[in-house]
Structure 1
Amino acid sequence: MSTPMTSLWLDTNPVAAPAAGPLAAGAQYDTVIAGAGLTGLTTAVLLARSGQRVAVLEGRSVGAAATGNTTAKVSLLQGTTLSQIRSHQTDTVLRAYVDGNREGQAWLLRYLEERGIAYQRRTAYTYATTEQGAKTLREELEAAQAAELPVAWTDETELQFPVAGAIALEDQAQIHPMQVLEALTTELRERGGELIEGVRVTGAGIGSPLTVETSSGPVRADHLVLATGAPILDRGGYFAKLLPHRSYALAFRVPGAPGTIPQGMYLSADAPSRSLRTAPVGDEELLLVGGNGHGVGRKDSPRAAVDDLEAWTSQHFPGAQRTYAWSAQDYRSANYIPFIGTLPRGGGGIYMATGYNKWGMANGVAAALAISGELLGGNLPWADTLGRRITTPSDLLTGAKDGLEVGVRAATGWATAESRALTAEPPVEGEGIVGRVDGTPAAVSTVDGVTCRLSAVCTHLGGIVTWNDAENSWDCPLHGSRFAADGSVLEGPAVKALPRREPES
């Protein structure tokens, strides 16, 4: 049997969706929201508070994607994000980004306090272990100061290894993300909103009101909000403006904890990335270690990335015992600023939020505040600034590099699939193989003793999927769609399963 990867958060606090009947075909809502993560549920609650009739449609389960698999740091110091933004945008845009995150952070922590949900205040650190990393830290410090954040340089950390320097921001926070989703789900139900799991939004009309196509039939709504990671509608070509990344996290029981593990929230400026934080679970305090991010479908062995994190932790925290391992997917925009607002060619009735670049806790709430504010007639100056930024030469260069990589992956994926003929012999347990069957690309895997033969062609835009040996999934290296071993959709922008090539054996 294969060992599944499950996050600490999903295991210790799964959220049961409120009992609801099946989606009634032709039902009418003020707003339909696709995706029951932090962005979708916060938007739903804000709209339901105003009296709107809201339905949240979730293709899998609450928190199944990014929110349930995050490291759940709610911080305005975000690794080297601010200096990356500053290299692409003006300081006015940089400050607007920080203002939005500050408002999102404040709303989220106030929400937890009002509902008596525990979280931990922590100092956030970005640290360097090389001279080049220290140079990057100086740039991040300057960007933070330009954004009016009280970030300070320090040579002292709690880390078990030497550093070349660090920058710190006090009074940030770490949370249990599924406890947040549970509270939002409860409030949404109390305010008359609907949350229906196992129903996927697959398409939409134009204008307002519009028809929303779902896996359970069409419904009508004045507005549709896409809170799905990558937008599931290709209007505006946002799939080509986003770089999908997967990164990994492991939880460890460390001898002598809590005294032997750092209490701050740490993230390295150097590659490969290393993220650390604590996590209280019952009477224990676990150490969370994350990192080793890579483009979706673009690593030969994701399992090796997990093993590398475990080896690194054992080196620096002797005796550490792994208790959980999981992975999350997020998206970086070409200009390093999230895409939040109306979807082009949607007639003004469709909104989206994506491109959080691994900082979805504050950004996700900020997006919900911006979208709900626009729908309800509010005014957020930082959201206006982010919504009207212009494309810079740096944005174009980054987009060109991302696009070139997609083109290379598309060509090599097809060439590899067509050059390898698959035999009738099934793969061994936990392995997947792509090759040619009857002249077309096929993907064959064996998981939990079941062999599945599928089309290897992604149902989004025809990329050739690759096998993810850490999560037993098929991942598309073009735009980040992911499919379970049986072909069902895990993450978009694809909305259709990989077709079966032949029955399971």
Structure 2
Amino acid sequence: MTQLPGSYESYWMESAAGADHPALTADLDVDVAVVGGGIAGICTAWEVARTGRSVALLEADRIAAGVTGYTTAKLSSQHGLIYAQLQKSFGAEGARMYARSQQEAVEYVAEVSAQLGIDCELERVPAYAYAESSEQVDQIRAEAEAARDAGLPASFVTETGLPYPVAGAVRFEDQAQFHPRKYLLALASDLLGRGGQIFERTRVVSLDEGEPCRLTTEGGSTVTARDVVVATHYPVFDRAMLFARLEPSRELVIAASVPAEHDPHGMYITQEQNTRSVRTAPYGEGRRLLIITGEKFKPGVGDVSRRYEQLAAWTRDRFPGATITHRWAAQDNTTTDRVPYVGRFHPGAKHVYVATGYGAWGMSNGVMSGRLLAAHISGEELPWSGLYDPRRLHPLREAPSLLKLQASVVKHFVGDRLPASHADSVEDIAPGTGAVVRVEGRRCAVYRDEDGAVHAVSARCTHLGCIVHFNDAERAWECPCHGSRFATDGTVVQGPANRPLEPRPLPTDAGDGDRSG
């Protein structure tokens, strides 16, 4: 395998250590329980605590360390080319509500940072969605017009701070970039100061939607709460059937040190070349950290190392002299109509809420979700409550995306069970790699570590049973159907699965495993 550039760690995780929080070991009774300690969960718990309600934040791993710890951290109402589409799908008023809710989230982070004295490296910069191809200019112009109609400070431009020419761009003023962990860890500290409780290493495995609601953790503890918020990125409970309307995707991130004078002074994104996103962050005296995101793909798609190499090559080509320091990957889910689901979990839900489907724009959406869900719990309505309601369903509007998504799931669910497997035998698996192998009639996900030791687990995702695939760059098992991810020992890295892949003992002659039946 080619040696990939940079250390495999998120700069946000490396540069902001968080305090440890205990695991829940006893039963608990609170007004509100928030499941998931990313930006949506932390913001929701903090907003709820401000209302005087007792609140517990439950995180399966560490807070602000999952998807939120591996973001690009653009805080913007500029979400690619979305406003022209929103006008067509939701009308002019829907587009205005989306714009207003997102821009208010940007301003809200600035206000809260000032009020609490949070040094989160907040910088106000413009955001651009651009195209290098002249064929895309009309689409860029239409987006600029739609964004202006939605009330945003948008304009069409042909000049940017990028070191290469563009054919056209829509520029948004008054946007921001920040250090997400520094902001959220400060919110968590303030949450504790307001009487809130935080529990890490506390995986929730079941939910009883009674009155009150009851959550059960992997360790056997019960949390009783009047209201429950499920903010686990991809909902870990499927009763709302949202998994049929959410499409997971991953993007790779390359971070590189550049001289401060090479800062392009803004946040940039293009849909061309399988997505390219650019921003910078402070990085020592006279330097900036250039953060490049792209190479979008579905979890479970192989050859991730090659995708990293392509992104690194693009970075060096467009920003000569950049020294690659870090690399990581981000995952998000997109709804079939591109608007997140934030509100009551399903049509019959009275006290259970959800936040998901941010489509790679989790910073503003996470902040927006915290405010919206806290309002719901307090019995209030915000102007955009209806826009984000998870119970909405627009068959004609969503049909093409819904059918495409389900066709992809069926393809993996059926196709991955056909005779062709991923390796002929365990013996074919090289050190540092993994493959799905049929052993004694069962499909096993087998990983061989650098020392040659073999680790085997069930190849069936514990969510809905799709066959996992190996990610060669991140050394993880991924479900191509709904995006669950597992470590090589089978432990859950990312939901919706909340149970590990079962260990599989291998016979001493496992090297003779075949692809039959």
Return the TM-score normalized by structure 1. Answer: 0.94
Equivalent residues in 2 for 1:401-440 (5 A)?
401-415=404-418, 419=421, 422-425=424-427, 427-440=429-442
**Does residue 1:44 correspond to 2:45, yes or no?**
yes
Aligned to 2:359: 357
- The secondary structure found in structure 2 opposite 1:480 is coil
Q: Which amino acid aligns with 2:224?
A: R
- The secondary structure found in structure 1 opposite 2:219 is coil
Q: Deviations over 1:335-355 (max 9, x none)?
A: 111001111266412110001
Of the candidates 459, 467, 472, which is equivalent to residue 470 of structure 2?
467
TM-aligned CA deviation for residue 426 of structure 1: 6.7
Of the candidates 144, 147, 153, which is equivalent to residue 147 of structure 2?
144
Aligned to 1:252: 256
- The secondary structure found in structure 1 opposite 2:252 is strand
Of the candidates 232, 235, 238, which is equivalent to residue 236 of structure 2?
232
TM-aligned CA deviation for residue 429 of structure 1: 2.7
1:456/1:498 contact within 8 Å kept: yes
TM-aligned CA deviation for residue 74 of structure 1: 0.6
| Cα separation, 1, equivalents of 2:98 and 2:211 | 29
| Cα separation, 1, equivalents of 2:189 and 2:136 | 44
**Does residue 1:219 correspond to 2:220, yes or no?**
no
- The secondary structure found in structure 2 opposite 1:207 is coil
| Cα separation, 2, equivalents of 1:440 and 1:412 | 16
- The secondary structure found in structure 2 opposite 1:85 is helix
Of the candidates 475, 487, 492, which is equivalent to residue 489 of structure 1?
492
Q: Deviations over 1:248-306 (max 9, x none)?
A: 1111012xx11123111111132321111111023231111111111121x22112111
Higher deviation after alignment, 342-351 or 156-165: 342-351
Aligned to 2:513: none
TM-aligned CA deviation for residue 396 of structure 1: 1.4
TM-aligned CA deviation for residue 448 of structure 1: 4.7
- The secondary structure found in structure 2 opposite 1:23 is coil
Aligned to 1:372: 374
- The secondary structure found in structure 1 opposite 2:412 is helix
TM-aligned CA deviation for residue 422 of structure 1: 4.6
2:100/2:151 contact within 8 Å kept: no
Of the candidates 243, 246, 262, which is equivalent to residue 242 of structure 1?
246
Aligned to 2:512: none
Aligned to 1:203: 206
Q: 1:421 to 1:431 in 2, by over 3 A?
A: closer
Q: Which amino acid aligns with 2:78?
A: L
Number of residue pairs the alignment of both structures matches: 499
Could you tell me which runs of 5 or more consecutive residues in structure 2 were left unpaired when the two chains were aligned.
509-517
- The secondary structure found in structure 2 opposite 1:259 is helix
Aligned to 1:477: 480
TM-aligned CA deviation for residue 366 of structure 1: 0.6
**Does residue 1:88 correspond to 2:92, yes or no?**
no
**Does residue 1:384 correspond to 2:393, yes or no?**
no
| Cα separation, 2, equivalents of 1:301 and 1:234 | 30
Q: Which amino acid aligns with 1:43?
A: T
Q: 1:504 to 1:32 in 2, by over 3 A?
A: farther
Aligned to 2:511: none
Aligned to 2:130: 127
- The secondary structure found in structure 2 opposite 1:15 is coil
Q: Which amino acid aligns with 1:105?
A: V
Q: Which amino acid aligns with 1:46?
A: E
Higher deviation after alignment, 86-95 or 8-17: 86-95
| Cα separation, 2, equivalents of 1:421 and 1:386 | 44
Of the candidates 174, 178, 187, which is equivalent to residue 171 of structure 1?
174
2:202/2:218 contact within 8 Å kept: yes
| Cα separation, 1, equivalents of 2:349 and 2:212 | 10
Aligned to 1:317: 319
**Does residue 1:31 correspond to 2:32, yes or no?**
yes
Aligned to 2:345: 343
- The secondary structure found in structure 2 opposite 1:332 is strand
Q: 1:280 to 1:503 in 2, by over 3 A?
A: farther
TM-aligned CA deviation for residue 222 of structure 1: 1.1
| Cα separation, 1, equivalents of 2:102 and 2:450 | 42
Q: 1:504 to 1:180 in 2, by over 3 A?
A: farther
TM-aligned CA deviation for residue 82 of structure 1: 2.2
Higher deviation after alignment, 100-109 or 197-206: 100-109
2:205/2:218 contact within 8 Å kept: yes
Aligned to 1:64: 65
- The secondary structure found in structure 2 opposite 1:185 is helix
1:426/1:444 contact within 8 Å kept: no
| Cα separation, 2, equivalents of 1:288 and 1:7 | 11
| Cα separation, 2, equivalents of 1:178 and 1:368 | 16
| Cα separation, 2, equivalents of 1:132 and 1:416 | 44
Q: Deviations over 1:401-456 (max 9, x none)?
A: 11111111212211156x56753427223211112111121101124535310100
1:208/1:347 contact within 8 Å kept: no
1:422/1:437 contact within 8 Å kept: no
Of the candidates 455, 460, 469, which is equivalent to residue 457 of structure 1?
460
Return the TM-score normalized by structure 2. Answer: 0.92
TM-aligned CA deviation for residue 98 of structure 1: 1.3
TM-aligned CA deviation for residue 70 of structure 1: 0.8
Q: Which amino acid aligns with 2:211?
A: S
| Cα separation, 1, equivalents of 2:443 and 2:414 | 13
Aligned to 2:54: 53
Higher deviation after alignment, 303-312 or 339-348: 339-348
2:155/2:172 contact within 8 Å kept: yes
TM-aligned CA deviation for residue 45 of structure 1: 0.9
| Cα separation, 2, equivalents of 1:434 and 1:150 | 51
2:425/2:438 contact within 8 Å kept: no
Higher deviation after alignment, 44-53 or 380-389: 380-389
Higher deviation after alignment, 272-281 or 140-149: 140-149
TM-aligned CA deviation for residue 56 of structure 1: 0.9
- The secondary structure found in structure 2 opposite 1:414 is coil
- The secondary structure found in structure 2 opposite 1:158 is coil
Q: Which amino acid aligns with 1:330?
A: D
| Cα separation, 1, equivalents of 2:394 and 2:28 | 40
**Does residue 1:102 correspond to 2:91, yes or no?**
no
Q: Output the aligned Cα RMSD.
A: 2.1
- The secondary structure found in structure 1 opposite 2:498 is coil
- The secondary structure found in structure 2 opposite 1:47 is helix
TM-aligned CA deviation for residue 141 of structure 1: 1.4
Q: 1:421 to 1:69 in 2, by over 3 A?
A: closer
- The secondary structure found in structure 2 opposite 1:159 is coil
Identity, in percent, stands at 36
Q: 1:390 to 1:427 in 2, by over 3 A?
A: closer
